[in-house]
A and B are shown apart, each in its own frame.
Chain A
Amino acid sequence: MPRYELALILKAMQRPEMASALKRTIEALMERGAVVRNLENLGERSLPYRISKHNQDHRRGGYFLVDFDGPPTIVSTMMDHLGRDIDVIRPTFLKHPVSKTEECSGIIPVNYEDKLYTKKK
Protein backbone atom coordinates (compact mmCIF):
# COMPACT_ATOMS: atom_id res chain seq x y z
CA MET A 1 0.00 0.00 0.00
CA PRO A 2 1.47 3.37 -0.90
CA ARG A 3 2.24 5.83 1.81
CA TYR A 4 0.27 9.05 1.89
CA GLU A 5 0.41 12.28 3.82
CA LEU A 6 -2.70 14.27 4.66
CA ALA A 7 -2.00 17.97 5.17
CA LEU A 8 -5.09 18.95 7.10
CA ILE A 9 -6.13 22.48 8.04
CA LEU A 10 -8.88 22.55 10.64
CA LYS A 11 -10.94 25.49 11.81
CA ALA A 12 -9.49 27.27 14.84
CA MET A 13 -11.57 25.81 17.66
CA GLN A 14 -11.25 24.94 21.33
CA ARG A 15 -9.14 21.94 22.25
CA PRO A 16 -11.88 19.36 22.89
CA GLU A 17 -13.67 20.23 19.62
CA MET A 18 -10.42 20.04 17.69
CA ALA A 19 -9.70 16.65 19.27
CA SER A 20 -13.12 15.32 18.30
CA ALA A 21 -12.69 16.56 14.72
CA LEU A 22 -9.34 14.82 14.45
CA LYS A 23 -10.78 11.65 15.95
CA ARG A 24 -13.60 11.68 13.37
CA THR A 25 -11.14 12.11 10.53
CA ILE A 26 -8.83 9.33 11.64
CA GLU A 27 -11.69 6.96 12.28
CA ALA A 28 -12.99 7.66 8.78
CA LEU A 29 -9.53 6.89 7.42
CA MET A 30 -9.32 3.62 9.32
CA GLU A 31 -12.82 2.62 8.21
CA ARG A 32 -11.64 2.80 4.63
CA GLY A 33 -8.72 0.53 5.35
CA ALA A 34 -5.87 2.88 6.15
CA VAL A 35 -3.14 2.24 8.69
CA VAL A 36 -2.31 5.51 10.40
CA ARG A 37 1.36 5.80 11.26
CA ASN A 38 1.70 9.22 12.78
CA LEU A 39 -0.24 12.37 13.55
CA GLU A 40 1.71 15.60 13.85
CA ASN A 41 0.46 18.94 15.08
CA LEU A 42 2.12 21.84 13.29
CA GLY A 43 0.45 24.32 15.61
CA GLU A 44 -2.34 26.81 15.30
CA ARG A 45 -1.29 29.70 13.13
CA SER A 46 -2.91 32.39 11.02
CA LEU A 47 -3.61 31.29 7.48
CA PRO A 48 -1.45 32.79 4.70
CA TYR A 49 -4.58 34.13 3.01
CA ARG A 50 -8.24 34.38 3.87
CA ILE A 51 -10.01 31.11 3.04
CA SER A 52 -13.78 31.01 2.80
CA LYS A 53 -15.26 27.55 3.22
CA HIS A 54 -18.76 26.37 4.19
CA ASN A 55 -20.11 29.94 4.16
CA GLN A 56 -17.47 31.10 6.62
CA ASP A 57 -14.36 33.24 6.42
CA HIS A 58 -11.34 31.76 8.10
CA ARG A 59 -8.20 33.61 9.12
CA ARG A 60 -6.74 31.22 11.68
CA GLY A 61 -6.46 27.47 11.54
CA GLY A 62 -4.91 24.42 13.13
CA TYR A 63 -2.37 22.63 10.93
CA PHE A 64 -2.11 18.83 11.20
CA LEU A 65 -0.19 16.19 9.33
CA VAL A 66 -1.46 12.60 9.14
CA ASP A 67 1.01 9.98 7.94
CA PHE A 68 -0.73 6.81 6.76
CA ASP A 69 -0.63 3.79 4.47
CA GLY A 70 -3.74 3.14 2.47
CA PRO A 71 -5.20 1.84 -0.77
CA PRO A 72 -5.21 4.32 -3.66
CA THR A 73 -9.02 4.33 -3.74
CA ILE A 74 -9.06 6.04 -0.36
CA VAL A 75 -8.08 9.42 -1.78
CA SER A 76 -11.24 10.24 -3.70
CA THR A 77 -13.61 8.87 -1.04
CA MET A 78 -11.85 10.74 1.74
CA MET A 79 -11.81 14.02 -0.20
CA ASP A 80 -15.57 13.60 -0.59
CA HIS A 81 -16.00 12.93 3.11
CA LEU A 82 -13.74 15.77 4.25
CA GLY A 83 -15.42 18.17 1.84
CA ARG A 84 -18.64 17.63 3.74
CA ASP A 85 -17.08 18.11 7.18
CA ILE A 86 -17.69 21.68 8.39
CA ASP A 87 -14.63 21.82 10.63
CA VAL A 88 -12.15 21.02 7.86
CA ILE A 89 -10.92 24.07 5.92
CA ARG A 90 -8.50 22.51 3.47
CA PRO A 91 -7.59 18.83 3.16
CA THR A 92 -4.78 17.78 0.82
CA PHE A 93 -3.58 14.26 0.10
CA LEU A 94 0.04 13.94 -0.95
CA LYS A 95 2.36 11.09 -1.61
CA HIS A 96 4.72 10.69 1.29
CA PRO A 97 7.81 12.68 0.33
CA VAL A 98 10.87 10.50 -0.02
CA SER A 99 13.63 12.52 1.59
CA LYS A 100 16.31 12.20 -1.02
CA THR A 101 19.57 13.71 0.09
CA GLU A 102 21.67 11.90 -2.47
CA GLU A 103 25.22 13.00 -3.01
CA CYS A 104 24.80 16.08 -5.10
CA SER A 105 27.68 16.10 -7.52
CA GLY A 106 27.74 19.87 -7.66
CA ILE A 107 27.19 22.13 -10.65
CA ILE A 108 28.62 20.48 -13.77
CA PRO A 109 29.74 23.28 -16.13
CA VAL A 110 27.70 23.18 -19.33
CA ASN A 111 29.59 23.53 -22.59
CA TYR A 112 27.54 26.24 -24.28
CA GLU A 113 29.51 26.10 -27.52
CA ASP A 114 28.33 22.55 -28.16
CA LYS A 115 24.74 23.54 -27.46
CA LEU A 116 24.91 26.44 -29.88
CA TYR A 117 25.55 24.39 -33.00
CA THR A 118 23.13 21.60 -33.91
CA LYS A 119 24.92 18.31 -34.30
CA LYS A 120 24.33 16.47 -37.56
CA LYS A 121 22.77 13.13 -36.66
Chain B
Amino acid sequence: MAATLVVSSRGWGRLQQILAAVLWRRGYSSQQDQVSHKVDLPIEMENPYKEPPKRCVLCGINVDYKNVQLLSQFVSPYTGRIYGRHITGLCGKKQKEISKAIKRAHVIGFMPVVYKDPTFLNDPKICDIRHPE
Protein backbone atom coordinates (compact mmCIF):
# COMPACT_ATOMS: atom_id res chain seq x y z
CA MET B 1 0.00 0.00 0.00
CA ALA B 2 2.82 2.39 0.92
CA ALA B 3 4.59 1.70 -2.38
CA THR B 4 1.44 2.44 -4.42
CA LEU B 5 0.96 5.70 -2.47
CA VAL B 6 4.52 6.78 -3.18
CA VAL B 7 4.05 6.08 -6.87
CA SER B 8 0.84 8.14 -7.00
CA SER B 9 2.49 11.14 -5.23
CA ARG B 10 5.29 11.07 -7.77
CA GLY B 11 2.77 10.83 -10.54
CA TRP B 12 0.77 13.72 -9.12
CA GLY B 13 3.90 15.90 -9.00
CA ARG B 14 4.64 15.01 -12.63
CA LEU B 15 1.03 15.89 -13.55
CA GLN B 16 1.47 19.30 -11.86
CA GLN B 17 4.62 19.97 -13.86
CA ILE B 18 2.87 19.19 -17.13
CA LEU B 19 -0.07 21.42 -16.19
CA ALA B 20 2.26 24.30 -15.34
CA ALA B 21 4.06 23.98 -18.63
CA VAL B 22 0.81 24.01 -20.58
CA LEU B 23 -1.40 26.48 -18.73
CA TRP B 24 1.09 28.95 -17.27
CA ARG B 25 3.40 29.22 -20.25
CA ARG B 26 4.01 32.96 -19.53
CA GLY B 27 6.49 32.06 -16.86
CA TYR B 28 8.64 30.28 -19.44
CA SER B 29 8.42 32.99 -22.19
CA SER B 30 11.32 33.50 -24.58
CA GLN B 31 13.53 36.60 -25.04
CA GLN B 32 11.38 38.04 -27.84
CA ASP B 33 8.30 38.22 -25.65
CA GLN B 34 10.15 40.21 -22.96
CA VAL B 35 11.29 42.95 -25.43
CA SER B 36 7.77 43.45 -26.86
CA HIS B 37 6.48 44.36 -23.36
CA LYS B 38 9.03 47.20 -23.04
CA VAL B 39 7.70 48.94 -26.17
CA ASP B 40 4.50 49.71 -24.26
CA LEU B 41 6.26 51.83 -21.60
CA PRO B 42 5.99 55.67 -21.89
CA ILE B 43 8.76 57.45 -23.84
CA GLU B 44 10.99 59.69 -21.73
CA MET B 45 10.61 63.30 -22.83
CA GLU B 46 10.42 66.82 -21.37
CA ASN B 47 7.00 68.00 -20.32
CA PRO B 48 5.53 69.37 -23.61
CA TYR B 49 2.84 71.30 -21.74
CA LYS B 50 5.33 73.20 -19.63
CA GLU B 51 4.37 76.87 -19.27
CA PRO B 52 7.02 79.48 -20.03
CA PRO B 53 8.47 80.93 -16.81
CA LYS B 54 6.58 83.91 -15.42
CA ARG B 55 8.22 87.23 -16.20
CA CYS B 56 8.10 90.35 -14.10
CA VAL B 57 7.15 93.73 -15.54
CA LEU B 58 10.74 94.83 -16.11
CA CYS B 59 12.10 91.63 -17.62
CA GLY B 60 14.31 92.73 -20.49
CA ILE B 61 14.07 96.46 -19.75
CA ASN B 62 17.24 98.35 -18.88
CA VAL B 63 16.95 100.24 -15.61
CA ASP B 64 18.79 103.60 -15.48
CA TYR B 65 19.00 106.31 -12.84
CA LYS B 66 18.29 108.86 -15.57
CA ASN B 67 14.73 107.91 -16.49
CA VAL B 68 13.04 109.33 -13.46
CA GLN B 69 9.61 108.54 -14.87
CA LEU B 70 10.22 104.79 -14.75
CA LEU B 71 11.67 105.01 -11.27
CA SER B 72 8.80 107.15 -10.03
CA GLN B 73 6.34 104.39 -10.91
CA PHE B 74 7.74 102.28 -8.05
CA VAL B 75 7.56 105.04 -5.47
CA SER B 76 4.68 106.13 -3.25
CA PRO B 77 2.99 109.34 -4.45
CA TYR B 78 2.38 110.55 -0.90
CA THR B 79 5.61 109.84 0.91
CA GLY B 80 8.05 109.07 -1.89
CA ARG B 81 9.02 105.75 -0.30
CA ILE B 82 10.12 102.84 -2.45
CA TYR B 83 7.55 100.03 -2.62
CA GLY B 84 8.54 96.60 -1.41
CA ARG B 85 8.82 93.42 -3.45
CA HIS B 86 5.39 92.18 -2.42
CA ILE B 87 3.78 95.28 -3.91
CA THR B 88 5.81 95.82 -7.06
CA GLY B 89 5.87 92.13 -8.01
CA LEU B 90 9.35 92.37 -9.49
CA CYS B 91 11.91 89.60 -9.49
CA GLY B 92 14.86 89.87 -7.07
CA LYS B 93 17.36 91.24 -9.57
CA LYS B 94 15.15 94.00 -10.94
CA GLN B 95 13.90 95.08 -7.53
CA LYS B 96 17.49 95.55 -6.40
CA GLU B 97 18.38 97.45 -9.58
CA ILE B 98 15.40 99.77 -9.20
CA SER B 99 16.13 100.36 -5.55
CA LYS B 100 19.76 101.22 -6.24
CA ALA B 101 18.83 103.50 -9.15
CA ILE B 102 16.24 105.38 -7.08
CA LYS B 103 18.68 105.99 -4.23
CA ARG B 104 21.30 107.12 -6.71
CA ALA B 105 18.85 109.52 -8.38
CA HIS B 106 18.01 110.96 -4.94
CA VAL B 107 21.62 111.78 -4.19
CA ILE B 108 22.51 113.14 -7.61
CA GLY B 109 19.54 115.51 -7.61
CA PHE B 110 17.45 113.93 -10.36
CA MET B 111 14.51 112.67 -8.35
CA PRO B 112 12.65 114.09 -5.35
CA VAL B 113 12.98 112.20 -2.10
CA VAL B 114 9.92 112.83 0.05
CA TYR B 115 7.30 113.05 -2.67
CA LYS B 116 6.63 111.86 -6.19
CA ASP B 117 7.18 114.33 -8.99
CA PRO B 118 3.71 115.80 -9.75
CA THR B 119 4.20 115.52 -13.51
CA PHE B 120 4.39 111.71 -13.11
CA LEU B 121 1.32 111.33 -10.91
CA ASN B 122 -0.95 110.27 -13.77
CA ASP B 123 1.33 107.53 -15.05
CA PRO B 124 0.00 103.98 -15.56
CA LYS B 125 -0.06 102.26 -12.20
CA ILE B 126 2.17 99.21 -11.96
CA CYS B 127 2.08 98.79 -8.20
CA ASP B 128 -1.28 99.37 -6.57
CA ILE B 129 -0.90 99.22 -2.83
CA ARG B 130 -4.55 98.23 -2.39
CA HIS B 131 -4.16 95.08 -4.48
CA PRO B 132 -0.63 93.87 -3.92
CA GLU B 133 0.06 90.86 -6.10
Contact = CB atoms under 8 A, between A and B. Distances in A.
Interface of A: 7, 9, 42, 47-49, 51, 61, 63, 65, 89-90, 92, 94, 97, 99-101, 103-108
B118 to A, nearest CB: 11
A49 B107 contact: no
B62 A48 contact: no
B60 A104 contact: yes
B62 A51 contact: no
B112 interface: yes
A72 B110 CA distance: 25
Nearest 5 pairs of A and B residues by beta carbon: A106-B53, A48-B112, A104-B59, A106-B55, A99-B62
B98 interface: no
B64 A101 contact: no
B62 A107 contact: no
B39 interface: no
Taking each of B62, B110, B117, which has the highest tally of chain A beta carbons within 10 Å of its own beta carbon? B110
B127 interface: no
B56 A48 contact: no
Q: Give the interface size bracket for B toward A.
A: 20 to 34
Contacts of A49: 109, 112-114
Nearest to B119: A45
B56 to A, nearest CB: 6
Nearest to A97: B64
Nearest to A89: B109
Given A48-B112, A48-B113, A49-B113, A92 B107 contact: yes
29 contacts: A7-B108, A9-B109, A42-B66, A48-B106, A48-B109, A48-B111, A48-B117, A49-B109, A49-B112, A49-B113, A49-B114, A51-B109, A92-B108, A94-B104, A97-B65, A101-B60, A101-B62, A103-B60, A104-B55, A104-B60, A104-B91, A104-B94, A106-B52, A106-B53, A106-B55, A106-B56, A106-B59, A106-B91, A107-B91
Contacts of A48: 106, 109-113, 117
B61 interface: yes
Contacts of A99: 62, 64
B54 interface: yes
Q: Which of A7, A65, A94, A99 has the most CB of B within 10 A?
A: A7
A107 B108 contact: no
Interface in B50-105: 52-56, 59-62, 64-66, 91, 93-94, 104
